[in-house]
Every structure is written in C-alpha cells, then in structure tokens.
Amino acid sequence: MNQSNVKPAEGKLGIMVVGCGAVATTFMTGVLMARKGLTKPVGSMTQYDKIRIGKGNDKKYLPYSEIVPITKLEDIVFGSWDVYPQNAYQAAMYAEVLKEKDIEPVRDELEKIVPMKAAFDKNYAKRLDGDNVKDCKTRWEMVEALREDIRNFKKANNCARIVVLWAASTEIYVPVCEEVHYKLSDLEAAMKADDREHIAPSMCYAYAALVEGAPFIMGAPNTTVDIPAMWELAEKTKMPIAGKDFKTGQTLVKSGFSPIIGTRCLGLSGWFSTNILGNRDGLVLDEPANFRTKEVSKLSTLETILKPEWQPDLYGHGNDEDTQYYHKVRINYYPPRNDNKEGWDNIDIFGWMGYPMQIKINFLCRDSILAAPLCLDLCLLSDLAARAGRYGTQRFLSFFLKSPMHDYTQGEEAVNHLYQQYTMLKNAIREMGGYEADEEID
C-alpha cells in the first residue's frame, strides 16, 4: 500500500476552538469521554465510516484510519478562545446540552481548558456581552495577539500540529468587497488600517492560523475564508482551509432529500423551511444583520441541486417572477428549547399531469449533538489534508458544510448534493491512501 504521500500523524494535535459554548464543549466532552471508553463517537465519519478500496476480487471496505494515517483521539489537546471566561467544564454545565453524568467523569480535563481572551468586536455580535476580550487597538494587533496565542499554546502543550476551528457565533453579514477581499496585499493593508467594516474579527483568527501553519475551518456562515485574499494566503502558506457553516439539521435534510425529488423527476413549486432554537446561536441570529449571514448560507443549497435551467418544466414555476420554485428560510429565537432546535420543512411538489402533493418533515434535533462529530471530522481531516500536502479550499470536506466554499470568481458552483459530496469525500480519502479515486460525480 502506498502511503508515502502522507506524513504520519506523530505527536499531539492541538485543536484550538474559537468559542467555548454549546458546540465546542459538547465536542470536547465527547472526545474526552470517548477516549476513556465511556461513550461512543456516534455520527463521526472518521470513527465509523468504511470506504471501499479496489474493485472486483480486490475490493475491501476499510475504516478511514486503515486507509490513511488519522490522528488518534488520545493525541488531541484542546484549547479555546471565548468572550466569556468560564472554563470548559463550567461552560458545558451552563450550556445544558449534556447531562451532568456525561460531563463529570472528565471534569478535571475540562476545567483545565480555560478560554484565552477573544479577539472580539461587539458590532459583529451585538447580543454577546462577555468581558474576556483582548484589548487590541487595531485589527492587525488582533492578528499579532492571536498568532502569539497559537505559538504559546503549541509550545506549552507540546503539540506537533495545530488546527483552528471556528465554533463561535455567526457574525453580521460582510459582503465581499473587491477592493479589500480579492488580493492578500489589500486585505493586509485593510487590517493595518483598522478597516472594521470590511475586516471581521474572524478574519483575524483565520489569518493568524494560516500564517502560523495551522489549517482553518469556518463552522459558521461568516465570509471569513470565503474570499480570494484568503485563498491566496492559503496557497502562500500551503495550508488547507474549509468552510462554511456546519451542516447539522435542516440543510442536511435538504441536501439529502431534494435528490429524491430530482432523481424521481417530480416537480417542485415551493420549499418553506422554518426553525426554532434557543441557545446563544439563536440569540445572536435574532439580530437581522446576523441572520442575513445565515440566510445566504441556507438558501444556496437547494438551487444548486434542483436547477430550473436544467428542468424548466419541473423547477421553473412557483414564485412571483415565475422563473423558479419559491424557497423561503426562517429562523426564530425561542429560548425554552435551548439547544434542542426544531426544523419544519413544508415541501410543495407536483407529479403526473401537474397534480399537487405535499411533503412535511419535522426534525427535532439537538444542534450541538449533530455538530460535535462534524467538528471532530473536520479537524482530523483538515490535519490529514495538511500532512498530505493539500492546501487551499478543501472541496472534499463539503459533505460537512452547509454552504461549501467554491471559486465564485470563476463562476464555479458549489456541490451541495449530499451523495455527490460523499463521493468527493471518499475519492479524496482513497487518493491520500494511495488508491485510485474510482467513483465519478454525475
């Protein structure tokens, strides 16, 4: 077997998480519990999925770790930044996602994860009121301070490698601006000039991570690394980037269910999606400017799977302009539910001779329970990609993301179809393991 193209996963992997809230603490607690043998990492592809390699008589189905060298759970060390100073144990208890009995056995380890001061700008998340914040005069100072945090953490914890994961709140929508976001030199100049309108704090985290040789993963729908200047930096530093927005509940359903309508050649008049959720995510998204960021991410999924221009008879009607089905997404902040969000999808389809039918999907999910395994997989696979010498946008990680990154400057379209994304994932693992990438995306 040829594994020569991937460096082994030797030493410790530091996973530095931006945000120490519900998602981050559920992720950390689960990994710490799993490596003690006290729970199972259900939902994690890297821990459970098996991929076929070879064909005919040579065909075998192997877990990822037998195809490529994946970091073991025992070798992970967690660090964090957050605007609230509570340690990961306190934050996990406060989040109320997990029961006390599932947190207590790893309390000592969680208590040692104390968030560093966050690089934060209240204008980007007006509903958050933490005081564990860096005193930075400019965006460039934020970058320098974060770089120092990464270096110090790596040294103090004797880590061989670092991955930085954004699991913090959704920032307000930052439209892509050619003058600032297209060239790395312009981006750096804007950071130094403290251009707070075009440079979100998350961009400072991404910049710091890449320059310090750490892959960066954007788990919210923020514009952060989804700009040509960051692609340029990823090329320059030879680091992988991935984003954006964890694909947990409703969009997972959409990317997996819409292929049923498409493959069966049924028509679609409209798809109405609404969500209720509590937790800090819901609170932040209650602010219209922050919801706009999320809305853009959630709306893009359907349009790249059921395309009106491909099948005008099936998808070309339903809205006012009568060019496409009607697609609406809503999120409502509803504190009683906390992390247990609920997604309703009402799908109006039509069949033979145009007769209408309906599909209703009611997904009562647990946001952080669905997000935690994605965090693990994205971190382990980004680390793998870095060791395999893959850099820039990692399209094979689209499977885990709501609004996968793509080169929109060249008119490239994101692949949102769940099963096509899965094919991309499997092919990348095969390639990195020295096998043939032998599945096609139709």
pLDDT in tens, 53-93: 999 999 999 999 999 999 999 999 999 999 999 999 999 99
Among 332, 364, 396, identify where a domain stops: 364
Across 100-114, 295-309, 321-335, the highest mean pLDDT is recorded for: 100-114
The Cα–Cα gap between 379 and 210 comes to 14
Q: What is the mean pLDDT of the segment spanning 270-289?
A: 83
Q: Are residues 356 and 297 in the same domain?
A: yes
- Is 286 within the bounds of a domain? yes
- Is 238 within the bounds of a domain? yes
Across 293-297, 323-327, 334-338, 352-356, the highest mean pLDDT is recorded for: 352-356
Q: Are residues 263 and 237 in the same domain?
A: no
Give which of 87, 117, 101 is closest to 24, Cα–Cα. Answer: 87
Residues 144-168: tens digit of each pLDDT:
999 999 999 999 999 999 999 999 9
Q: Are residues 130 and 238 in the same domain?
A: yes
Residue 206 parent element (H or E):
helix 201-211
- Is 332 within the bounds of a domain? yes
With cut-offs at 50, 70 and 90, classify the pLDDT of residue 294: confident
Is a pLDDT exceeding 80 seen at residue 242?
Answer: yes
Peptide bond into 328 cis (omega under 30): no
Please count the structural domains in the chain. Answer: 2
Give which of 254, 276, 234 is closest to 389, Cα–Cα. Answer: 234
Q: Are residues 275 and 233 in the same domain?
A: no
For position 1, what pLDDT does the model report?
A: 45
Q: Calculate the dihedral angle through the C-alpha atoms of 74, 80, 85, 90, rounding to the nearest 10 degrees.
A: -30
Residues 371-427: tens digit of each pLDDT:
999 999 999 999 999 999 999 999 999 999 999 999 999 999 899 999 999 999 999
- Is 281 within the bounds of a domain? yes
Among 323, 338, 364, identify where a domain stops: 364
Is a pLDDT exceeding 70 seen at residue 17?
Answer: yes
The Cα–Cα gap between 55 and 76 comes to 35
Q: Are residues 241 and 267 in the same domain?
A: no
Q: CB-based burial of residue 319 (10 Å sphere; 0-12 exposed, 13-18 middle, 19+ buried)?
A: middle
Q: Are residues 282 and 158 in the same domain?
A: no
Q: Are residues 379 and 356 in the same domain?
A: no
Q: Are residues 242 and 264 in the same domain?
A: no
* 245 Cβ contact list (under 8 Å, min separation 6): 218, 219, 220, 221, 251, 294, 297, 401, 402, 403
Give which of 46, 49, 257, 18 is closest to 142, Cα–Cα. Answer: 18
With cut-offs at 50, 70 and 90, classify the pLDDT of residue 246: very high
CATH number at residue 134: 3.40.50.720
Residues 162-187: tens digit of each pLDDT:
999 999 999 999 999 999 999 999 99
Q: Are residues 126 and 226 in the same domain?
A: yes
Q: How far is CA 231 from CA 18, 207, 312, in A?
A: 20, 11, 35
State phi, psi for 242 to the nearest 5 degrees: -150, 145
- Is 6 within the bounds of a domain? no
Among 316, 343, 364, identify where a domain stops: 364
Q: What is the mean pLDDT of the segment spanning 10-22?
A: 97
State phi, psi for 264 to the nearest 5 degrees: -90, 0
**Residue 178 CA from chain centroid, whole number:** 24
Q: Are residues 225 and 256 in the same domain?
A: no
Query: What is the residue range of 357's domain?
Result: 250-364
3-state secondary structure of 360: strand
- Is 55 within the bounds of a domain? yes
Q: Are residues 65 and 123 in the same domain?
A: yes
Q: What is the mean pLDDT of the chain?
A: 94
Is a pLDDT exceeding 90 seen at residue 285?
Answer: no
Q: What is the mean pLDDT of the segment spanning 29-37?
A: 98
Is a pLDDT exceeding 50 seen at residue 49?
Answer: yes
For position 4, what pLDDT does the model report?
A: 55
CATH number at residue 327: 3.30.360.10
Q: Are residues 21 and 142 in the same domain?
A: yes
Q: Are 375 and 167 in contact (CB under 8 A)?
A: yes
For position 297, what pLDDT does the model report?
A: 67
With cut-offs at 50, 70 and 90, classify the pLDDT of residue 282: confident
Alpha helices in 86-200 (DSSP H): 88-95, 107-111, 139-156, 178-181, 184-192
For position 291, what pLDDT does the model report?
A: 76
- Is 406 within the bounds of a domain? yes
- Is 376 within the bounds of a domain? yes
Lowest mean pLDDT among 289-298, 350-359, 375-384: 289-298
